[in-house]
């Protein structure tokens, strides 16, 4: 049994629809339509609306009936997406090149482990405010993990509009064979001034595929639990 947030599907589909329309129409406003800006925009909206959970059994998701309420919800989401696009385009990360064409990515014709995008959120544990202006590191074997392309950063620098949400897309790992199962061990390390260092360890099982994927596969998102930073415990100076 799995919980599934149907608003994620709605928001991600709408975001892609809107960005694809920009591209089709020659993008007169010169909006960056790269994958990183798409996921930033989706996160912007998802952090501002309530999740709508359903139970999905073995991947079968009940399709919601169209209703006036759903129509209104969709309209509200579209408004927020446009709001997010403006915010995100004004806050483009300077370290990111943006706009890399999918075809420009190096694609290995050999079998590869295609890792999912890794998404998480980090809060100040003392007041539950989303953290900002800190760096999040994704490590494997104590080394920074290489990203799929230069639109993605590692370390990830959290800015205000991220609302504490960070994301990584690790580069595919080339291997010899198809259908090999491997467990990849990662850790998230957050070293923020005034807080204890947080290290979170996790594993992602991946099956190798015919080739490395050049496009971001949205269904493959690995969500981390929310993380909380706490200030170091004070020594008892009275004793």
**Of 8-16, 37-45, 127-135, 210-218, which part binds Zn ion (CB under 5 A)?**
37-45
Across-strand partners of 228? 123
Residues 212-231 that bind Zn ion (CB under 5 A): none
Give me the residue label for tokens 């170091």.
232
Alpha carbons within 13 A on the beta-carbon side of 204: 20
- Rule CB under 5 A: say whether 98 interacts with Zn ion: yes
**Of 73-81, 91-99, 187-195, 206-214, which part binds Zn ion (CB under 5 A)?**
91-99
| Among the listed residues 34, 118, 145, 148, the single contact to Zn ion using CB under 5 A | 34
- Rule CB under 5 A: say whether 43 interacts with Zn ion: no
- Rule CB under 5 A: say whether 136 interacts with Zn ion: no
* Cβ distance to Zn ion smaller for residue 31 or 213: 31
* Cβ distance to Zn ion smaller for residue 78 or 100: 100
User: What is the C-alpha separation between 76 and 104, in angstroms, rounded?
Assistant: 35
> First and final CA of the chain: distance in angstroms?
51
Instruction: Please state the closest distance from residue 232 (CB atom) to Zn ion, in A.
Output: 37
Instruction: Please state the closest distance from residue 172 (CB atom) to Zn ion, in A.
Output: 21
- Rule CB under 5 A: say whether 15 interacts with Zn ion: no
**Of 62-70, 94-102, 130-138, 139-147, which part binds Zn ion (CB under 5 A)?**
94-102
- Rule CB under 5 A: say whether 189 interacts with Zn ion: no
- Rule CB under 5 A: say whether 32 interacts with Zn ion: yes
Cα 84–chain centre separation: 15
User: What is the C-alpha separation between 222 and 119, in angstroms, rounded?
Assistant: 6
**Sheet strands (E) in the chain:** 2-5, 53-56, 112-113, 117-124, 135-140, 143-144, 156-157, 165-168, 173-174, 181-190, 198-207, 221-223, 227-229
| Among the listed residues 12, 37, 117, 198, the single contact to Zn ion using CB under 5 A | 37
Instruction: Please state the closest distance from residue 120 (CB atom) to Zn ion, in A.
Output: 20
* Cβ distance to Zn ion smaller for residue 6 or 154: 154
Across-strand partners of 166? 120
Instruction: Please state the closest distance from residue 63 (CB atom) to Zn ion, in A.
Output: 32
Contact 49/7 with Cβ under 8 angstroms?
A: yes
Contact 115/170 with Cβ under 8 angstroms?
A: yes
- Applying CB under 5 A, which residues contact Zn ion? 32, 34, 37, 98
């Amino acid at each position: 049994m799995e919980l599934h947030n149907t608003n994620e599907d709605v928001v991600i589909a709408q975001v892609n629809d809107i960005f694809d329309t920009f591209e089709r129409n020659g993008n007169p406003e010169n909006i960056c339509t790269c994958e990183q800006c798409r996921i930033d925009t989706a996160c912007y909206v998802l952090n501002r609306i309530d999740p709508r959970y359903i139970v999905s059994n073995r991947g079968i998701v009940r399709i919601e009936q169209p209703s006036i309420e759903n129509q209104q919800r969709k309209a509200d989401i579209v408004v927020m997406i446009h709001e997010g696009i403006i915010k995100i385009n004004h806050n483009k990360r300077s370290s990111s090149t943006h706009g890399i064409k999918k075809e420009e990515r190096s694609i290995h014709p050999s079998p590869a482990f295609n890792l999912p995008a890794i998404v998480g959120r980090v809060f100040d544990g003392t007041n539950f405010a989303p953290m900002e202006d800190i760096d999040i590191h994704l490590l494997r074997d104590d080394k920074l993990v290489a990203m799929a392309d230069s639109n993605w950063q590692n370390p990830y620098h959290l800015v205000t509009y991220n609302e504490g949400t960070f994301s990584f897309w690790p580069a595919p790992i080339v291997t010899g064979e198809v259908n090999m199962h491997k467990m990849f061990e990662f850790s998230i390390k957050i070293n923020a001034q005034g807080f204890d260092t947080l290290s979170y360890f996790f594993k992602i099982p991946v099956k190798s595929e015919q080739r490395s994927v050049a496009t971001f596969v949205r269904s493959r998102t690995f969500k981390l639990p929310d993380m909380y930073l706490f200030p170091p415990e004070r020594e008892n100076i009275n004793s």
